[in-house]
Amino acid sequence: MIKVGIVGGTGYTGVELLRLLAQHPQAQVEVITSRSEAGMRVDEMYPNLRGHYDSLAFSVPDAATLGACDVVFFATPHGVAHALAGELLATGTKVIDLSADFRLQDADEWAKWYGQPHGAPDLLPEAVYGLPEVNRKAIKQARLIAVPGCYPTAAQLALIPLLEAGLADTSQIIADCKSGVSGAGRGASVGSLFSEAGESMKAYGVKGHRHLPEIRQGLRRAAGKDVGLTFVPHLTPMIRGIHATLYASVVDRSVDLQALFEARYADEPFVDVMPAGSHPETRSVRGANVCRIAVHRPQDGDLVVVLSVIDNLVKGASGQAVQNMNIVFGLDERLGLSHAAMLP
Ligand SMILES: NC(=O)C1=CN([C@@H]2O[C@H](COP(=O)(O)OP(=O)(O)OC[C@H]3O[C@@H](n4cnc5c(N)ncnc54)[C@H](OP(=O)(O)O)[C@@H]3O)[C@@H](O)[C@H]2O)C=CC1
Ligand SMILES: CC(=O)N[C@@H](CCC(=O)OP(=O)(O)O)C(=O)O
């Protein structure tokens, strides 16, 4: 059994980790932290977990207790993993960080987008970007994994086949993305109120969102050169889900894009290339660790439109984190993650 610790157990990604790990045959959650709820049993706070974690209670984060675990997940705001990761790695504990602390390779760029100095630049060279579909080999050897952001997961999986094949005009790609409100976390804020976000939809971060450099970094890796990207996120009145629509121009109209995408993801357990002409719905991935993709060529012109949906809390965060854990510990990548989505 893999001994698991979770820092930040009361947020949405923390409780989603608990839900997924409850069904995992080879992992046992030993430590779960919350400073504000220390002492409370997890199944008192989250009744959906009753019967799964009979005696597990929140505790304050403590490096010694966490260091006794085989792996520690950080489901915390940005900056927290910077402070604790080094100490845990030194005790031999693997670290899987769901925040953005180790996603950008460049500490100065991180500081610019996150508004504070990078707290652990010495660890950046060994941090591995945890997108298994492009980095599986490196993940297997990693001690420190940066789980990709939710928008970046949906956008990169949609564009990588085109970029790796050198088929997209890299001067101008558009990522038009929509998220449910759980993407904003569990912390109270006016924008997440039902009466603010319900029956309404709005774009935000058009001038520059912190996921822009992360998506650009991934696209650059796939294309082997810089990519001109416009990224516009939107808040939509649903709880879970990301819907990303990607627009690019193809440089060779003769290529069968459906066949290209199917071949690229043929061996990927968590990417589903849907039949030509499909329109994937966010509800088709709700609760599941899957990204469903459909490729369109309107009027058979140069334009390619790729549609990509994920559950922000699963393939966009906690499910992808468990997928990374499975790879790091040499397990079947699908363990604990093979359930179907909830419909409706
Ligand atoms: N929501 C989403 O869809 C996604 C979120 N993420 C990322 O995952 C991380 C967690 O997100 P989410 O679950 O929404 O977050 P929340 O903000 O809802 O929860 C944060 C958790 O972290 C704990 N925490 C806060 N500050 C500290 C601290 N200084 N030290 C230790 N623990 C702390 C909180 O507990 P307490 O204060 O009681 O200790 C709480 O349990 C974030 O970095 C987020 O950006 C990634 C992908 C998708
Ligand atoms: C709707 C909403 O507010 N979404 C969040 C992104 C989701 C998220 O948590 O981002 P990370 O994956 O980088 O942690 C935002 O725009 O900042």
The alpha carbon of 204 and the centre of ligand 2 are apart by a number of angstroms equal to: 11
330, 343 contact by CB (below 8 A): no
Q: 70 and 114 in one domain? A: yes
Which residue has tokens 């390779």? 105
What average pLDDT is seen over the chain? 97
Residues 109 and 178 in one domain: no
Q: Within this chain, do residues 224 and 79 fall inside the same structural domain, yes or no?
A: no
Pair 158, 272 in one domain: yes
Q: What is the dihedral of CA 265, 305, 176, 116, to 10 degrees?
A: 40
Q: Are residues 157 and 81 in the same domain?
A: no
Q: How many angstroms separate the alpha carbon of residue 184 from the centre of ligand 2?
A: 5
Residue among 51, 46, 98, 109 nearest 75 (CA):
98
Residue 53 falls inside a structural domain:
yes
* Whether the predicted pLDDT of 225 surpasses 90: yes
Could you give the number of structural domains in the chain?
2
75 CB within 6 A, ligand 1: yes
Q: Are residues 183 and 113 in the same domain?
A: no
| pLDDT, tens digit, 9 for 90 and up, residues 123-154 | 999 999 999 999 999 999 999 999 999 999 99
Task: Name the nearest CA neighbour of 114 among 148, 152, 83, 78.
Answer: 78
Domain that residue 69 falls in: 2-126
**Cβ contact 327:139 at 8 Å:** yes
Same domain, 119 and 156: no
pLDDT at position 343 over 90: no
Residue owning tokens 């660890």:
123
**Do both 121 and 161 map to the same domain?**
no
User: Is 154 domain-assigned?
Assistant: yes
The token pair at 247 is: 């627009």
CATH number, position 290: 3.30.360.10
**Range 147-174 average pLDDT:** 98
Q: Give distance in angstroms: CA of 64 to centre of ligand 1.
A: 21
Spatial contact of 16 and 183, defined as CB atoms under 8 Å apart: no
Q: Mean pLDDT across the stretch 61-66?
A: 96
The answer to whether position 324 is within a domain reads: no
Q: What is residue 300's predicted lDDT score, i.e. its pLDDT?
A: 80
Task: Examine the pLDDT at 306 and tell me if it is beyond 90.
Answer: yes
Model ipTM value: 0.95
Residue from 96, 190, 211 to probe ligand 2 pocket by mutation (most atoms less than 8 Å from CB) = 211
- Is residue 141 assigned to a domain? no
- Tell me, yes or no, whether 100 lies in a domain: yes
Q: Which of 13, 110, 147, 242 to mutate to test the pocket of ligand 1 (most atoms within 8 A of CB)?
A: 13
The model's pLDDT over 273-289, given as tens digits with 9 standing for 90+, comes to 999 999 999 999 999 99
Q: Are residues 118 and 192 in the same domain?
A: no
- 207 lies in the same domain as 121: no
* Amino acid sitting at position 85: A
CATH assignment at residue 45: 3.40.50.720
- Do residue 112 and residue 172 come from a single domain? no
Residues 291 and 195 in one domain: yes
User: Domain for residue 67, yes or no?
Assistant: yes
Query: Is the bond preceding residue 77 a cis peptide, omega within 30 degrees?
Result: no
